[in-house]
A and B are shown apart, each in its own frame.
Chain A
Amino acid sequence: MSAPSLEIAQLTVRFGGLAAVDDVSFAVAPGRVHGLIGPNGAGKTTLFNLVCGLVAPTSGAIRLDGQRIDALPSWGRSKLGLARTFQNIRMFNDMSVLETVMTGMHAGLAESLPAVLLRLPSFRRAERAALEKAWELIDFVGLADAAQRRSGDLPYGDQRRLEIARALACEPRLLLLDEPAAGMNPSETHALEELLERLKGRGVTMLLVEHDMHFVMRLCDEITVLNFGRKIAQGAPVDVRADPAVVEAYLGAKVARSLEAPR
């Protein structure tokens, strides 16, 4: 068996006396979609920030494809194939949609300063290839008609799609999605789910935090539940939603029943 895409091992981070993430371990196998759920304050976002390098762990290890990444800055992790979207969308407002996606290719684009200054053939080739790939990606997320528009002017749902295209631009081995459906109306959520299903079909490994339980249960192969920084359950969606500890801490009996019923 190959190494997991992401491996979290006995990860702990303390802010003063508070253990925001407390001895959490789990792994995401290649090509799988892994969900992270739990009540507000459970440590989901902290765990996300640990994985992408915005918070340093107190102890424990994070491995990407078997390689320790917990001492690397966020840009170093990105070079190894980690990409993310943000809970509150972070756009480069003045850039066009195409430029935004091309910015996402930063780590993988071979353009040396001399080649840039002298407009060498190698630079031109790299830029053309990048542009071609950017067109493919915005086609994939359904933004081709908005290619030349200012990113900041797109509607919310489209900005989320653009953020995903930007994250995909570096051909990540693992894509982190921080509450992708937050703030979306039902039709936007539905379209997003359809997009993520297609991503899954392409074999993209994903770890996502989300509060929309129907969304999570349908999309994820496996779910980890956090409460007060500790892992309280892990397993397939069917098992997790039936777990009494999860119902008690997070779902509540009513939601758990509604999840049983197919929608």
Chain B
Amino acid sequence: MAEFLDDFLFTYQNLVYSLGVNGLLALSIYVVLAVGQLSIGQAAFMGLGAYVSALLTVKLGVAFPLVLLAAMITPALAALVVGAPTLRLSGVYLALATIGLGEVQRIVFINAEFTGGALGLSGIPTRGGLISIYGSLALALVAFVCVARSKIGRAMEAMREDELAAGALGVDLPAYKLGALVVSAMLAGLAGALNAHVSSFISPNDYGFDAAVTILSFALLGGIGSPFGPVLGAFILTLLPEVLRPLADYKTVVNGAIIVVAVIFMPRGLLAWRMGRAGAAFRRPK
């Protein structure tokens, strides 16, 4: 059994890592969508985390836990800079600003010397692995479940349903939106750092517009009624191309068709289940 597991891990190691990393990315877009905002910047935050962590490890030999911390703080700062002016407005401004962030960052990474230019950074030493990836994913999931079942979770759902009514009930809208974006950036940065240290190579084009849309599709496919939906969406969209590999040239066609069908027939996502919002049992107190 152990032997089988070893073989399996050896063969599918990258896939197993990708599942966990994409699960984290799905949670990162979930937080933003959960307050009714749209970000196309998750890939940029991920890229920032990846580059900062890789540079710290390769050039300065910083300890891995500190590297991870830096990979979360840097995108959080970027989120503050982008979010503070745009989140006072309602509407699509955040989406526009985060597209901008992604493109600017990609061009900087391509042209800067110390980031390795268009070739990217290679030879990043392996750090972390299964435990740090899946440990982070599990911790994040538990945290989101706790938050969902509290006044914070209720406020977030209220904002998503009706921002005006939520504001009239005392929900500090800009603070919640900015808080959600910062947490989301930290998660994406963490995912970027963990990924960089198991794949040993990163390049600017890994974190472009395509990647941002893929991350968004995790949450759209899975549904955002609970944090489990986006993670499920990420797992399916990560596995699908592997499962469909025998179809060779038709792989992407079938992959796309499955997503289209799912979105048409399950507009609320594959996991439409909505989590309860009270931190106490609903039973009537005696």
> Which residue numbers of A lie inside 8 Å of B, CB to CB?
52, 54, 73-75, 78-79, 83-84, 86, 90-96, 98-99, 102-109, 111, 113, 116-117, 119, 123-124, 126-128, 130-132, 135, 147-148, 166, 170
Contact with A along B256-286 (1 / 0, CB 8 A): 0000000000000000001011111010110
Instruction: Decide yes or no: A170 and B169 within 8 Å by CB, A92-B161, A135-B284 being known contacts.
Output: yes
Q: Which residue of B lies closest to A135 (CB)?
A: B284
The answer to whether A98 touches B151 (Cβ under 8 A) is no
The answer to whether A116 touches B146 (Cβ under 8 A) is yes
B284: chain A residues at CB < 8 Å are 135, 147
The answer to whether A123 touches B282 (Cβ under 8 A) is no
Interface residues on B, range: 20 to 34
* Separation of A92 and B155 alpha carbons in the complex (Å): 10
The answer to whether A116 touches B173 (Cβ under 8 A) is no
B143: chain A residues at CB < 8 Å are 117
Distance of A110 from chain B, by nearest CB (Å):
9
B157: chain A residues at CB < 8 Å are 92, 94-95, 103
B166: chain A residues at CB < 8 Å are 103
The answer to whether A116 touches B279 (Cβ under 8 A) is yes
The answer to whether A113 touches B170 (Cβ under 8 A) is no
Please pick, from A73, A96, A106, A124, the residue contacting B169 in the complex, using a CB distance under 8 A. Answer: A106
Instruction: Decide yes or no: A105 and B280 within 8 Å by CB, A116-B146, A170-B170 being known contacts.
Output: no
Please pick, from B150, B161, B172, B173, the residue contacting A94 in the complex, using a CB distance under 8 A. Answer: B161
Please pick, from B167, B276, B280, the residue contacting A73 in the complex, using a CB distance under 8 A. Answer: B167
The answer to whether A111 touches B151 (Cβ under 8 A) is yes
The answer to whether B158 touches A92 (Cβ under 8 A) is yes
The answer to whether B280 touches A131 (Cβ under 8 A) is yes
The answer to whether B278 touches A102 (Cβ under 8 A) is yes
The answer to whether A127 touches B285 (Cβ under 8 A) is no
The answer to whether B165 touches A92 (Cβ under 8 A) is yes
Instruction: Decide yes or no: A135 and B168 within 8 Å by CB, A113-B152, A117-B146 being known contacts.
Output: no
Instruction: Decide yes or no: A116 and B152 within 8 Å by CB, A99-B277, A107-B170, A147-B282 being known contacts.
Output: yes
Q: Which of A75, A90, A95 has the most CB of B within 10 A?
A: A75
Distance of B63 from chain A, by nearest CB (Å):
26
Q: Which of B152, B274, B278 has the most CB of A within 10 A?
A: B278
Q: B164 contacts the other chain (Cβ, under 8 Å)?
A: yes
Q: Which residue of A lies closest to B161 (CB)?
A: A92
* Separation of A79 and B282 alpha carbons in the complex (Å): 26
Please pick, from B150, B152, B164, the residue contacting A54 in the complex, using a CB distance under 8 A. Answer: B164
* Separation of A74 and B165 alpha carbons in the complex (Å): 10
Distance of B152 from chain A, by nearest CB (Å):
6
Instruction: Decide yes or no: A86 and B161 within 8 Å by CB, A109-B151, A127-B278 being known contacts.
Output: no
Nearest 4 pairs of A and B residues by beta carbon: A107-B170, A78-B170, A127-B279, A90-B165
B16: chain A residues at CB < 8 Å are none
The answer to whether B167 touches A103 (Cβ under 8 A) is no
Q: B251 contacts the other chain (Cβ, under 8 Å)?
A: no
Distance of A145 from chain B, by nearest CB (Å):
11
Instruction: Decide yes or no: A116 and B150 within 8 Å by CB, A92-B161, A123-B279 being known contacts.
Output: yes
Q: Which residue of A lies closest to B159 (CB)?
A: A92
A126: chain B residues at CB < 8 Å are 151
The answer to whether B280 touches A148 (Cβ under 8 A) is no
A86: chain B residues at CB < 8 Å are 164-165, 168
A and B contact pairs by CB, cutoff 8 A, 30 listed: A73-B172, A73-B173, A75-B167, A84-B168, A86-B165, A90-B164, A92-B157, A92-B161, A94-B157, A94-B274, A95-B154, A96-B282, A98-B278, A102-B277, A103-B166, A103-B169, A103-B277, A106-B170, A106-B171, A107-B170, A116-B279, A123-B150, A127-B278, A127-B279, A128-B285, A131-B280, A131-B282, A135-B284, A166-B169, A170-B169
Contact with A along B202-239 (1 / 0, CB 8 A): 00000000000000000000000100000000000000
The answer to whether B150 touches A79 (Cβ under 8 A) is no
Q: Which residue of A lies closest to B152 (CB)?
A: A116
A111: chain B residues at CB < 8 Å are 150-152, 279
Q: A78-B167, A83-B169 are in contact. List 8 more A-B contacts (CB 8 A).
A: A75-B172, A78-B170, A95-B157, A99-B278, A103-B151, A103-B155, A123-B279, A148-B282
The answer to whether A74 touches B168 (Cβ under 8 A) is yes
B164: chain A residues at CB < 8 Å are 54, 74, 86, 90
The answer to whether B276 touches A99 (Cβ under 8 A) is yes
* Separation of A126 and B164 alpha carbons in the complex (Å): 25
Instruction: Decide yes or no: A119 and B146 within 8 Å by CB, A99-B277, A128-B280 being known contacts.
Output: yes
